[in-house]
Structure formats: structure tokens, C-alpha cells
Amino acid sequence: MSVKVDVTSPVLEAFLTKAATSEPEILRQFQQEGSRLVMEEMRRVVPVRRGFLRESITAAFSPDGFIVYPTAKYAEFVEKGIGPHTIFPVRAKVLRFETVWGEVIFARHVKHPGFPGRFFVKRTLEAVKYNLRQLLQDIVERVLG
């Protein structure tokens, strides 16, 4: 026993044809507008107000979407945190830094206490996922009419 349902409608066929030919335009608009929205949010929640980490946030398009990410080499440590570790000089014999009181310190190495992750990438995703769904819906309605 079965139930057969035929969906043959000129209106439906026209809509599906238009949707199929409009897919590249929908994707292009979503990549442009969506990546801008995510970059703005990530720059808003990054744990620094200015500097290389914030400015390194960039976007790239993929065949079926986009990716937004920081290019700073240390971004992963800021995101996930890092445990206590020792810092040694790389290009010099000693490290040089200033204390909050303005005193200049030289040291062969320093013991960094580490710090917890700031999870700014994860927080960005949580903040924009609803907005991205809504943006895609708006773009589809705008393009397909």
C-alpha cells in the first residue's frame, strides 16, 4: 500500500529554477555581509582595545561560506589560555621590560604565571549565530523576491 503525491506546478518549477540560478548571488552576498558582521563582532569582543591582535582579524571566502580568524601567531594562546611557563630571549642575550612603576628590568629569563583563556572566538560565534541565520534568510528573500 502506498500514497503517491505528484508535485507538478508551473509556479513551483519557476520558483525552483529561479532559486537554482540565484544560488551564486545568494552565496556572494552572504559571504560579504556575513563576514563583515562576524569581523565586527570579533573585534568588539577581542580582549584588547587596539593592537596587532585586534587588527589581525580577517576573513576569507570558502566555496560554500567564509571563515573569520585572527592571524596573530599568539591568538591561540589568548583564546585558549596558557599555563605557567618560562620566557627566554630569542634575538638577544637578555630580556628587557618596564615595570608598572617605570623601572627598567633586564633578565636572562622570566617565569610567566600564565593566564586563563579569553575565548573571544567562541564568544563571537555564540553572539552572531542567530544574526547569521537571519541574514541568510533576508538575503534569500531579497534575491528571490
Phi, psi of 36 (to 5 degrees): -65, -45
124 found inside a domain: yes
Is residue 82 situated within a structural domain?
Answer: no
Q: What is the pLDDT of residues 17-59, one digit of tens each?
A: 787 888 999 999 999 999 999 999 999 999 998 999 999 999 9
Q: For the chain, how many structural domains are there in total?
A: 1
Q: What is the pLDDT of residue 130?
A: 96
Planar angle of CA 69, 57, 53, nearest 5 degrees: 110
The answer to whether residue 92 sits within a structural domain is no
Phi and psi of 11, rounded to 5°?
-65, -45
Provide the pLDDT for residue 25.
93
pLDDT for the residue numbered 95: 96
Q: What is the pLDDT of residue 4?
A: 55
Is 3's pLDDT higher than 70? no
Angle of the 10-45 helix axis to the 120-144 helix axis, nearest 10 = 150
* Structural domain includes residue 106: no
Asked if the model's pLDDT at residue 10 lies above 80, the reply is no
Q: Answer yes or no: are the C-beta atoms of 132 and 31 closer than 8 Å.
A: no
- Which pLDDT belongs to residue 112? 94
Contacts (Cβ under 8 Å, ≥6 apart) of 72: 52, 53, 56, 78
Residue 98, beta-bridge partner list: 104
Does 4 map to a domain? Answer: no
* Residue 104 belongs to some domain of the structure: no
pLDDT digits (tens, 9 = 90+) for 53-67: 999 999 999 998 999
Task: Give tens-digit pLDDT for 90-139.
Answer: 999 999 999 999 999 999 999 999 999 999 999 999 999 999 999 999 99
Q: Taking 80 as the threshold, does the pLDDT of residue 8 lie above it? A: no
Task: Report in angstroms the alpha-carbon separations of 42 from 58, 62, 64.
Answer: 10, 19, 21
**How confident is the model over 61-86, as pLDDT tens digits?**
999 899 999 999 999 999 999 999 99
Query: Could you give the CA distance from residue 144 to residue 20 in angstroms, rounded to a whole number?
Result: 10
> Which pLDDT belongs to residue 22?
87
| 20 assigned to some structural domain | yes
CA–CA separation, 109 vs 17, rounded Å? 66
Phi, psi (deg, nearest 5) at residue 60: -140, 145
C-alpha cell at 18: 529561479
- Residue 59, in any domain of the structure: yes
Domain that holds residue 18: 11-77+115-144
